[in-house]
Amino acid sequence: MPYYCEICGRPVSRPKVYEVDGATLILCENCAKLTRAQRITSAPKMKRITITRPKKLERKQTIPIELRVNLVENYGEKIRQARLAKGLSREKLAKMLSISPSFLKKIEDNEAIPSEEIINRLEKILKIRLREDISTELEILSFDAKLKKPRPLTLADVMIIKPSKKKKKKKSSN
């Protein structure tokens, strides 16, 4: 049964047990010298442990909040106006939302995008709509004019292609 150094992984012909920072390890001579480990003369009986890898878990696809939530363009100003119309201070609304007043200020200044949960609470408390309905936009984008029927969105449908900024070299006339 082959043994390996538990620090560098080199094969160890005669396992020697050392104590390193309170841990009992099998080390090669080099690692024992480098770590200044204390050799244990009465070695405890070593048990071979087989490690089985866990089954591959399906990763949940995480979509950035910017793509999941389609907020109205001026959501921060809309929140600020509704808060002032209700007569609420920033601190009081932040407390109702269970967020800090500084985070609410960032939301009102369009510097932070609120989570789904905060958007739901803001819409309920302030009685405003913060989401845009993009279904009609998607229908227009995903409608194939040639076939005259809807089709799935492609990358080209949502990609914005900017013209290249190639500089034209002027020919020098001599």
Sequence-distant contacts of 33-39: CB under 8 A, at least 24 apart: 35/7
Q: Mean of the pLDDT values across residues 24-31?
A: 85
If you count them, how many residues does the chain have? 174
Question: Which is more confidently placed, 16 or 102?
Answer: 102
pLDDT number for residue 85: 95
| Residue 83 host element (H or E) | helix 75-86
Output the six-digit token pair for 69. Answer: 């939530």
Q: What is the average pLDDT score of the chain?
A: 76
DSSP state of 144: E
d(CA 156, CA 81): 38
Write down the CATH superfamily of domain 71-126.
lambda repressor-like DNA-binding domains (1.10.260.40)
Range(s) within the chain of domains with CATH label 1.10.260.40: 71-126
State pLDDT tens for residues 28-80. 888 888 887 888 876 556 566 666 666 665 555 555 555 555 788 889 999 99
**Is the pTM for the entire model greater than 0.75?**
no
In DSSP terms, which residues pair with 150 in a beta bridge? 143
